Amino acid sequence: MPVLPDPERPIDPALEPALARVQDPELHRSLLELGMIARATIEDGRARATVRLTIVGCPAAQRIERDVREALERVVGPGLAEVTLEVMDDDEREALLERVRGRRGNPFGPGTLTRVVAVASGKGGVGKSTVTASLAAELARRGRRVGVVDADVYGFSIPGQLGITTGPTRLDEHMMVPPVGHGVRAISIGMFVGADHAVSWRGPMLQRTLQQFLTDVHFGDLDVLLLDLPPGTGDVAITAGQLLPDAEVIVVTTPQPASSTVAVRAGLLAGRLGQRVIGVVENMAWLAGPDGARVELFGAGGGRRAADALSTELETPVPLLASVPISIPLREGADLGSPAVLTHPDDPAVVALRAVADLLDGPRGLAGRHLPLQVG
């Protein structure tokens, strides 16, 4: 005799653990938690589930259908699961948005459990975005949940470097879900103005945009959030310091004095805003000649000089984390949207960047955190 689903418990408890692991690929939350599984039953050894999607023509429909079917099959066996897709009515959709909005506000502010790392430089073109995209792709490759906020308004290149060609998906007039490239959830001003449009926004607008990126973009739970700052010590860096006081900062420079001197200024600003400068990355440190000898195209010593100056000024050790050589695979990967950390594991530049990723891969220390301590 067929077993009718209990209206109070339309999800068979035997299927619940498997279904709990299926996530919405855009919202990064369990379908169960989001209320998207309307029912899931086992009758005569066959599993049947009804999934309610948020919108008609949901781009993730096929994937959701497959993921749910595979989850059910793990319980009842291959070929014994059936998934029906339906679309939510307005009330259900509103309820889902409420659940997602439940975590509104800036989830990366004081006390955040996400490791927030801002990548700064004194001047443009030193490879700050390349370092950010490489670290993000490497950490995602290791299975970390990684987000990137591309706040480099004048030189946004994160989407291109991560091979992202689409914009965010809008959930309602406020909330949006970031697109994903190589496992990295990324949002960029470039997604709103188009690659050919120059951005000539003034301070307050930039400030609002960064704030919105942090509050209105649903990243889901993240292990690491990387922030690609514009070069220099402008409004965005100051806003980032205010909105992300727990952020750690990596300063990128080339070996040239012209780059390292201004890099120090960017690091000092971060320090003054209460962020912790965790180290310097020297990029384009040398070019390997045909005989393997190092050609120091941009001179030498900028990374060490910046690290030493920051250590002195901030009165805390700021190490030189890595010297990254000039690398054709790194440059090509950035141009093609296929980061070299994923394709050229033995490239010396990739090896150097992996060492920086090691440092970010793990629970952040409490040092430098703004702890809600009360004295007295």
Question: Which pair of tokens denotes residue 201?
Answer: 């926004």
Distance in angstroms (rounded) separating the CA atoms of residues 299 and 375: 50
CB 164 within 8 A of CB 186: yes
Half-sphere exposure of 38 (CA within 13 A, CB side): 14
Locate the DSSP E strands across the chain: 37-43, 46-53, 81-87, 115-121, 146-150, 169-170, 176-177, 180-181, 184-188, 224-228, 248-253, 276-283, 287-288, 294-295, 320-324
Task: Identify the residue among 171, 284, 310, 357 touching ligand ATP (CB under 6 A).
Answer: 284
Task: Identify the residue among 152, 235, 246, 347 touching ligand ATP (CB under 6 A).
Answer: 152
Closest CB 34 distance from ligand ATP, rounded Å: 36
- Report if residue 54 touches ligand ATP, rule: CB under 6 A: no
Tell me whether residue 268 or residue 287 sits nearer to ligand ATP (CB atom). 287
- Report if residue 302 touches ligand ATP, rule: CB under 6 A: no
Distance in angstroms (rounded) separating the CA atoms of residues 281 and 264: 12
Q: Which residues are known binding-site members?
A: 122-129
- Report if residue 112 touches ligand ATP, rule: CB under 6 A: no
Closest CB 354 distance from ligand ATP, rounded Å: 14
Distance in angstroms (rounded) separating the CA atoms of residues 109 and 95: 26
CB 165 within 8 A of CB 159: yes
Contact region for ligand ATP (CB under 6 A) — 18-26, 152-160, 180-188, 364-372?
Answer: 152-160
Residue window 114-143: x/- pattern of binding to ligand ATP, with contact defined by CB under 6 A: -------x--xxxxxxx-------------
Task: Identify the residue among 41, 54, 112, 157 touching ligand ATP (CB under 6 A).
Answer: 157
Tell me whether residue 178 or residue 339 sits nearer to ligand ATP (CB atom). 339
C-alpha angle with apex 149: 147 to 151, nearest 5 degrees?
Answer: 165
Question: Which pair of tokens denotes residue 35?
Answer: 């209320």
Tell me whether residue 107 or residue 181 sits nearer to ligand ATP (CB atom). 181
Distance in angstroms (rounded) separating the CA atoms of residues 208 and 226: 19
Determine the residue with CB nearest ligand ATP: 155
Distances (CA, A) of 370 to 55, 256, 273: 41, 35, 12
Closest CB 229 distance from ligand ATP, rounded Å: 8
Tell me which residues in 70-109 interact with ligand ATP (CB under 6 A).
Answer: none
Strands 287-288 and 294-295: antiparallel
Closest CB 124 distance from ligand ATP, rounded Å: 3
Tell me whether residue 41 or residue 121 sits nearer to ligand ATP (CB atom). 121
Closest CB 198 distance from ligand ATP, rounded Å: 13
Q: Which residues are known binding-site members for ATP?
A: 122-129
Tell me which residues in 225-244 interact with ligand ATP (CB under 6 A).
Answer: 231
Tell me whether residue 153 or residue 176 sits nearer to ligand ATP (CB atom). 153
Distance in angstroms (rounded) separating the CA atoms of residues 182 and 160: 12
CA 308 to chain centre: 30
Closest CB 92 distance from ligand ATP, rounded Å: 43
Compute how many residues bind ligand ATP; rule: CB under 6 A: 21
Closest CB 209 distance from ligand ATP, rounded Å: 17
- Report if residue 155 touches ligand ATP, rule: CB under 6 A: yes
Distance in angstroms (rounded) separating the CA atoms of residues 100 and 92: 13
- Report if residue 283 touches ligand ATP, rule: CB under 6 A: yes
Per-position DSSP letters for 85-103, written without gaps between them: EEE--HHHHHHHHHHHHTT
Tell me which residues in 322-351 interact with ligand ATP (CB under 6 A).
Answer: 324, 326-327, 330-331, 334, 349
Tell me whether residue 24 or residue 347 sits nearer to ligand ATP (CB atom). 347
Tell me whether residue 10 or residue 301 sits nearer to ligand ATP (CB atom). 301
Closest CA to 58 of 89, 86, 97, 20: 86
Residues that bind ligand ATP (CB under 6 A): 121, 124-130, 152, 155, 157, 231, 283-284, 324, 326-327, 330-331, 334, 349
